[in-house]
């Protein structure tokens, strides 16, 4: 895992990705080598079929230090995600995805899956992550789910940014003990629990 030292506080919030230029994958180049050529040492590489597109997802973990108002150091954990969509035999389009991060402990990607979360037949992309929360005010595990709407069938109509669907917040929560408050419980910590809730909401899987 790489080390990252920063004086900026990193919160578990999301930023929108930007569409990047087309890139050619060399003949006989492995998936890992293709990813490595763009950014060194991915911690995890996963290939998926998302509706009409072959997708490569690469994950990069980093650990760093931030300082609170009393100049007390706190550890942060962060995961960056690279997204490559195959748009022709050897051509890919890269779109950045939001980063995950939280103070207090290790971040981890728990599940990458597809499920229907709206009225159209195409499935959405779900990324479920957890973060160990161990600071002075909170102790436990926080869960975040990113949900992205399906890509257009024509890659020339790809949006300039991935927009997180509003339903993402439904599947985020914390199994945490908070100072001075009752413990909180995360309702959705697995893909099966998320799919079950989607079914209850009338989205056929």
pLDDT in tens, 46-86: 999 999 899 999 999 888 787 777 888 877 788 888 999 99
Instruction: Provide the residue ranges of all domains of the chain, joining segments of one domain with +.
Output: 2-200
205 or 7, which is more confident?
205
Q: What is the pLDDT of residue 73?
A: 80
DSSP, res 164: B
pTM (two decimals): 0.81
Strand 2-5 relative to strand 19-24, pairing: unpaired
Strands, E assignment, the chain? 2-5, 19-24, 44-50, 53-67, 73-86, 91-96, 100-103, 107-115, 124-134, 138-148, 173-178
């Amino acid at each position: 895992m790489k080390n990252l030292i920063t004086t900026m506080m990193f919160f578990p919030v999301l930023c929108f990705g930007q569409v990047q230029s087309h890139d050619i994958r060399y003949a006989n180049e492995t998936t890992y080598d293709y990813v490595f050529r763009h950014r060194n040492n991915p911690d995890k590489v996963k290939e998926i079929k998302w509706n009409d597109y072959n997708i490569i997802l690469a994950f990069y973990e980093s650990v760093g230090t931030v300082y609170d108002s009393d100049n007390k150091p706190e550890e942060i954990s962060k995961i960056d995600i690279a997204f490559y969509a195959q748009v022709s035999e050897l051509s890919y389009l890269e779109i950045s995805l939001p980063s995950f991060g939280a103070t207090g402990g290790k971040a981890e990607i728990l599940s990458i899956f597809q499920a229907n979360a709206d009225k159209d037949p195409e499935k959405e992309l779900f990324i479920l992550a957890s973060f160990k929360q161990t600071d002075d005010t909170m102790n436990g595990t926080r869960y975040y789910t990113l949900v992205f709407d399906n890509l257009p069938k024509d890659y020339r109509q790809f949006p300039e940014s991935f927009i997180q669907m509003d339903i993402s917040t439904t599947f985020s929560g914390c199994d945490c003990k908070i100072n001075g408050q009752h413990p909180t419980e995360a309702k959705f910590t697995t893909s099966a629990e998320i799919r079950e809730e989607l079914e209850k909401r009338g989205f056929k899987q």
